[in-house]
């Protein structure tokens, strides 16, 4: 059974008279432990696809199976639970809560899961040291650099031991050196922890870290190629 199975997924937005086909009949499977990059021109539907994979959005038509479960049959709270335990999100804009310490940001998913206080603190600290930020636990987002903020976001994505990390342009706001650090972190999580990583990027340098690249064009899947990892 594939971890992720998309079957003829389409997403249509209607803005007044105009219809936008953000995704058209996208079918693909991703297995556990894969490291996939998604590329394509701006507006080609990458984010739309990621949002559907992340159970933040539902397709207009088609079926999406996550670990064999059809997502379309689930209600809000069941989807929230999947996002909580199965999926870790990493966004281009980091999306940390303002006025909230790094460690509290990392603890957040565990609160919604109902993890006990003691364990919560320990696991949050573990996740922070995994991304090399144990000394910045008490810092607020505005006291951290972009790369550090993104690493806090990655720690937050890891903390509930989600098997999948979805990253929409995670290095989009970072310089080359920091991007490399982040990609290195993703690679380690993929190789050492067996976490499935799917990331959207515009840069082929970044895509080269992955072992499979999917290319979108006008909402359609154009290319799906495997490659030998060039890094690590």
Partner 1 sequence: MVNVPWTARLALRALKANKMRTLLTMLGIIIGVAAVIAMLAVGTGATQQLTEQISSMGSNLLIVLPGSTTSGGIRMGAGTQPTLTAGDAQAILEEAPAVDAVAPVLSGTAQVVYGHQNWSTGIVGTTSSMLTVRDWPLAQGRGFSGADVKNATKVCLMGQTVVDNLFGDEDPIGKNIKIQNLPFTVVGVLSVKGQSAMGQDQDDTIMVPLTTAQRKLFGTAFPGMIRIMLVKAKDTSELDNAQTQITDILRQRHHIGQQQDDDFTVRNLTQIMQAAEQSTKIMTLLLGAIASVSLLVGGIGIMNIMLVSITERTREIGIRMAIGAKTWDIRFQFLMEAFIMSMIGGIGGIAMGMSGSAVLSKIAGWPVIVSPFSILLAFGFSGAVGIFFGFYPAYKASLLNPIDALRYE
Ligand X SMILES: Nc1ncnc2c1ncn2[C@@H]1O[C@H](COP(=O)(O)OP(=O)(O)OP(=O)(O)O)[C@@H](O)[C@H]1O
Q: Does 43 bind ligand X (CB under 6 A)?
A: yes
How many residues lie near Mg ion (CB under 5 A)?
1
Site mask for Mg ion (CB under 5 A), range 102-141, x = bound:
----------------------------------------
Among 46, 83, 120, 136, binds ligand X (CB under 6 A): 46
How many residues lie near ligand X (CB under 6 A)?
12
According to CB under 8 A, which residues from 101 to 130 bind partner 1? 108-109, 111-114
42-50, 94-102, 137-145, 154-162 -> range binding ligand X (CB under 6 A):
42-50
According to CB under 5 A, which residues from 41 to 60 bind Mg ion? 47
- Structure letter (DSSP) for residue 143: G
CB count, 10 Å around CB of 200? 24
**Distance from C-alpha of 221 to C-alpha of 231, rounded to nearest angstrom:** 25
CB of 73 to Mg ion, least distance (A): 27
Which residue, 6, 3, 13, is CA-closest to 49? 6
**Distance from C-alpha of 81 to C-alpha of 66, rounded to nearest angstrom:** 13
**Distance from C-alpha of 78 to C-alpha of 74, rounded to nearest angstrom:** 6
Q: Which residues contact 196 (CB under 8 A, 6 or more apart)?
A: 3, 4, 30, 31, 32, 33, 34, 35, 36, 163, 164, 165, 190
Q: Which residues bind partner 1 (CB under 8 A)?
A: 51, 54, 56-57, 76-77, 80-81, 83-85, 89, 91, 95-100, 108-109, 111-114, 156, 160
């Amino acid at each position: 059974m594939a971890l992720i199975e998309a079957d003829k997924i389409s997403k249509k937005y209607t803005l007044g008279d105009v219809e936008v086909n953000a995704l058209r009949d996208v079918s693909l499977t991703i297995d556990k432990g894969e490291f996939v990059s998604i590329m394509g021109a701006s507006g080609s539907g990458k984010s739309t696809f990621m949002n559907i994979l992340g159970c933040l959005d539902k397709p207009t038509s088609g079926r999406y199976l996550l670990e064999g479960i059809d997502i379309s049959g689930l209600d809000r709270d069941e989807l929230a639970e999947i996002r909580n335990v199965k999926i870790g999100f990493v966004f281009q804009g980091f999306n940390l809560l303002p006025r909230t310490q790094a460690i509290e940001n990392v603890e957040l998913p565990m609160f919604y899961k109902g993890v006990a206080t003691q364990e919560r603190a320990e696991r949050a600290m573990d996740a922070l040291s995994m991304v090399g930020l144990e000394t910045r636990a008490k810092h607020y987002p505005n006291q951290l650099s972009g790369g550090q903020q993104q690493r806090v976001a990655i720690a937050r994505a890891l903390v509930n031991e989600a098997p999948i990390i979805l990253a929409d342009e995670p290095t989009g706001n970072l310089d080359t050196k920091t991007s490399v650090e982040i990609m290195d972190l993703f690679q380690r999580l993929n190789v050492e922890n067996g976490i499935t990583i799917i990331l959207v990027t515009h840069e082929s340098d970044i895509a080269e870290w992955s072992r499979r690249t999917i290319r979108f064009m006008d909402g359609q899947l154009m290319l799906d190629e495997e490659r030998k990892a060039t890094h690590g």
